[in-house]
Amino acid sequence: MKKYLFVVCLITTPVLWAQPAFLDTEDVAGGFTGPISVTHAGDGSDRLFVTQQGGQIKVVDGGVHLPTAFLDISSSITSGGERGLLGLAFHPNYASNGYFYVNYTDLNGDTVIERYSVSAGDPNIADPASGLIILTFAQPFGAHNGGDLNFGPLDGYLYISSGDGSGDPMASQDLDSLLGKMLRIDVDGDDFPGDTQRNYAIPPDNPYVGVTGADEVWVSGLRNPWRFSFDRVTGDLFIGDVGEDTWEEFNHVAATSNGGENFGWPCFEGGDFSGVGGCDINGPNELPFAALEHDQPGSNYCTAVGGYRYRGVEYGGLTGWYLFTDWCDGDFFAARQTTQGWEVHNMGELIGGFAVTSMGEDEAGELYAVAWSGLLKITGPTSAPDDVIFLTGFESP
């Protein structure tokens, strides 16, 4: 297991705050109710799909927010707080098979991953009767449900982020529990033909196949990985993990990884040992490459919102930078991997605190922020990355 040697901490340089931020936003569409994610179908249509926590998927086509929902599952979900329709991902072959996958809290309060299909007659309307349960798992309480879904760009497997469930946080360390993990499944197979509630196959190279632990687990030790993403070019995995009292974490799993990383929760938060019963101070703790400290003066960090590594074409100055934010604070950050470790910069507040629930990509790799006020496109410099002016910097201690 690779250990990262660099833990970052914020170095504030307030005199630089007068400099202009190079990140900005453009309004794309409004009129959403509780929007919590945005993605695309990869079908060449250039449409954006915004999920609403209450159970609707809305289509934005050419900047127009279509009034009729693509899918509305509000009658079959529990919504509110950290529950609801939480994630959406389109099958890599969506253009030919019409499959997409949602992650939601069902009427019992449990997590469901379900597949739906686009309707036969209208690309902007899904077939509400097409649901097929892929995977379910119990949630002991209403919080820390994770909820994101993405297909790996290189392996085509579906990855699912799951929180610790806010019951026993040691679930994150229990390899037989699906809680507090990144899960990795093959939705094109079915290893459980006699089970109508499990319709997926186990990738044979998952790290716990044939040994102690749930076969679905890819990495462990996460608290509440609300949002994660892949670098569409390299396949690197980025996980924003919502912290408890001290650190908001942004974790990285290199595309070359064989899985099995343990990000430490609840034995560690960031690099801090918790002393929770059963924990070993010498136990595994894959450190975040960036972490926001709650008591940083002038900040209001409290909920990591994992972002994306920019691979679009319009803003060359952002190429290769991983952009992310914090729900409560509203500052955006840019990080990149260098030969000396990770370099992280505060880019300033773009939209406001308690506003941005998620980020997402369109088909071209341009980035968006999903805010209560609407969908915004993130813009930046078209210049080379090294020409960028930063507001504040991080450095490795």
What residues make contact with Ca ion under the rule CB under 5 A? 190, 192, 195, 199, 249, 263-264
Contacts of 90 (CB under 8 A, 6+ apart): 39, 40, 41, 42, 43, 49, 99, 100, 101, 151
User: What are residue 248's DSSP bridge partners?
Assistant: 292
Q: Which is nearer to Ca ion, 82 or 248 (CB)?
A: 248
Q: Which residue type, as a one-letter code, is found at position 326?
A: D
Place of tokens 């990262």: 4
**Is residue 120 a contact partner of residue 130, using CB atoms and an 8 Å limit?**
no
Per DSSP (E only), the strands in 19-119 are 24-29, 35-40, 48-52, 56-61, 64-65, 71-72, 85-90, 99-105, 111-118
Do you know the residue count of the chain? 397
Torsion of CA 48, 76, 83, 143, to 10 degrees: -150
The SS3 assignment for 37 reads: strand
CA 286 from centroid of its chain's CA atoms = 18
**Is residue 279 a contact partner of residue 266, using CB atoms and an 8 Å limit?**
yes
